[in-house]
Chains A and B, each alone.
Chain A
C-alpha cells in the first residue's frame, strides 16, 4: 500500500494575479488550476443574506462553457468554503471564488479545492480552519494515494478534510466499493491530508 503522497509533485505560487484579493496557482502531477478570491465585496440583492456572507463560485473549464459536471465541482467548492469561512463576520456581502482549470491529468477536484484554500489563505480572509483535499484510488484490493499505473481502477474517492480535527467536510466517490473499503479510504486520505497541510505551511512561510 502506498501511503506517501509524493511531495515534490506539488508546486504553487501565490499572488500571481494582481486584481483579486488572493490568488494561487497550484499544480500537482500535471494538473494545474488557478484560483482567485474576491471578498468581501458588494453583493447582488438576489443573493444577499442578512446574517452572513454569501459565497459564489465560478468554475471555468479549460475550453468551452462550464457543463453540469463543472456545476457539481462548483457546488462542492462553494459548500466547502461556506463551512470553512467565518461568514458571520461580514453579513450582507459576497465572497467570490473564481477557478480556472489550466490542465487536467486527473485529480482535478482535489487540486481545485487545494488551490482555493491557498487563495483564501493568501487573501487573508477569516477562516475557522483550513481545508485540504486528497484523492485515493482503489483497484478492489489495494488502496493508493497515487494513481496506479496499469491496474484497473474500481473506485476513486475524493475527501476534503478540515485542518483542526481532520473531519470530513466533503466527499465525492466514483465506482463501486464496500463499507470496509470506504473506511480504509477515509483513513488513508486522512493521513495523506497531513502532507497537504504541511505543504500549505511551507508555501506561506516562504
Chain B
C-alpha cells in the first residue's frame, strides 16, 4: 500500500495499472470514459494505491453512504407492524424487520421500542433502494449484533475516527481499557455506543473521543499519553 499524492476533484490520474484490463476503484474515483488507462478523481484527499490494481481515496467524508455488509449503530425512529425504521445517518432511514433478530418468530418477537439503539449489519445497500438491516448472521445467530442496553450512551463521531477506532492495530481502545472498564460499539456510520460502570467514566471516555476527533490529524498514540 502506498500513498501517491494529494488530489482534488476533476484531476485525472494517468498510467493506471490494471490486471487483464481490470482496475479496482475505491471511493472518490470514477472511470474516465474519454481516455483509456486514466481515472477521474471526484473527492479531495490522498490517493492510495495497492498493488496490483487497487486505487482509492482517503479524504474526510462526513456523511455516511451505506455499503453492503457494513456494521452500523443506529437508532430506532419508527415502528410499524413488523418493520422498524432505523436512523443510521444516511440519506434514507434503513429498514429492520422484527424477525431479523435471533430466535424471533411470528409469535415471539423481541421487545424493541422507538429510541432503542441497535448494532446491526447492512444486508442490502443500493443507491436505488432503501438500506436493509439485520441483527443476525447467515446462520441466524446474533453474535455481537442486536439491541444495545439502554444504560449506554450514544455519540456521533467523524467517519474517519470511526474507521481509525475499528483498526485492530489502533492502541487507543486498548489503552483506555487499562484505565476504565467499559463496553463499546463502533459503527462505520460514525455512531458510537458506549457504556461503563460509572457515568463519570462514560463522560470521560466521551471527552476522549471528542478530543481525538478534533485533533484528527495528530497521532492517536499521543492523545493516549496525554490522557493516561
List residues 21-62 of chain A with CB under 8 A from any CB of chain B.
Answer: 21-22, 38-43
Q: How far is the CB of A108 from chain B (nearest CB, A)?
A: 25
Does chain A have a CB within 8 A of B52?
no
Stretch with Cβ within 8 A of B (4 or more), from A75-83, A125-133, A142-150, A174-182: A125-133
Q: Report whether A128 and B42 are in contact in the complex, using a CB–CB cutoff of 8 Å.
A: yes
Residues of A within 8 A of B44 (CB): 121, 124, 204
List residues 1-17 of chain B with CB under 8 A from any CB of chain A.
Answer: 6, 8-10, 12
CA distance A90 to B43 in the complex (A): 15
Q: How far is the CB of B35 from chain A (nearest CB, A)?
A: 12
Q: Report whether B45 and A124 are in contact in the complex, using a CB–CB cutoff of 8 Å.
A: yes
CA distance A157 to B219 in the complex (A): 47
Q: Report whether A123 and B28 are in contact in the complex, using a CB–CB cutoff of 8 Å.
A: no
Q: Report whether A123 and B62 are in contact in the complex, using a CB–CB cutoff of 8 Å.
A: yes
Residues of A within 8 A of B91 (CB): 39-43, 90, 92-94
Q: Report whether B8 and A128 are in contact in the complex, using a CB–CB cutoff of 8 Å.
A: no
* Most interface-central of B12, B28, B60, B63 (chain A CB within 10 A): B63
Contact of B42 among A86, A94, A123 (CB under 8 A): A86
A158-194, CB under 8 A of B: which get 1 and which 0? 0000111000000000000000000000000000000
Q: Report whether B40 and A128 are in contact in the complex, using a CB–CB cutoff of 8 Å.
A: yes
User: How many B residues touch A, CB cutoff 8 Å?
Assistant: 23
Does chain A have a CB within 8 A of B174?
no
Nearest to B12 among chain A residues (CB) is A164
* Most interface-central of B12, B43, B45, B62 (chain A CB within 10 A): B62
CA distance A86 to B91 in the complex (A): 16
CA distance A39 to B40 in the complex (A): 21
Q: Report whether B42 and A130 are in contact in the complex, using a CB–CB cutoff of 8 Å.
A: no
Q: How far is the CB of B210 from chain A (nearest CB, A)?
A: 11
CA distance A59 to B47 in the complex (A): 34
CA distance A17 to B79 in the complex (A): 33
Does chain A have a CB within 8 A of B50?
no
How many pairs, one residue from A and one from B, have CB atoms within 8 Å of each other in the complex?
77
Does chain A have a CB within 8 A of B141?
no
User: Which secondary structure dominates chain B's binding surface?
Assistant: loop
Residues of B within 8 A of A86 (CB): 30, 42
Q: Report whether B9 and A129 are in contact in the complex, using a CB–CB cutoff of 8 Å.
A: yes
Q: Report whether B10 and A90 are in contact in the complex, using a CB–CB cutoff of 8 Å.
A: no
CA distance A39 to B92 in the complex (A): 11
Q: Report whether B62 and A124 are in contact in the complex, using a CB–CB cutoff of 8 Å.
A: yes
Does chain A have a CB within 8 A of B222?
no
Nearest to A120 among chain B residues (CB) is B9
Does chain A have a CB within 8 A of B128?
yes
CA distance A127 to B10 in the complex (A): 7
Contact of B92 among A42, A125, A200 (CB under 8 A): A42
Does chain A have a CB within 8 A of B110?
no
Residues of A within 8 A of B12 (CB): 164
CA distance A18 to B6 in the complex (A): 25
15 contacts between A and B (CB under 8 A): A21-B62, A42-B92, A86-B42, A91-B127, A93-B91, A94-B91, A121-B9, A121-B44, A123-B62, A123-B63, A124-B43, A124-B62, A127-B10, A127-B42, A127-B43
| Chain A residues proximal to chain B, CB less than 8 Å | 21-22, 38-43, 86, 89-94, 121-130, 162-164, 200-201, 204-205
Given contacts A38-B63, A124-B28, 18 further A-B contacts (CB under 8 A): A21-B62, A40-B91, A43-B91, A90-B91, A92-B92, A122-B60, A123-B62, A124-B60, A126-B42, A126-B43, A127-B9, A127-B43, A128-B10, A130-B9, A130-B10, A201-B8, A204-B6, A204-B44
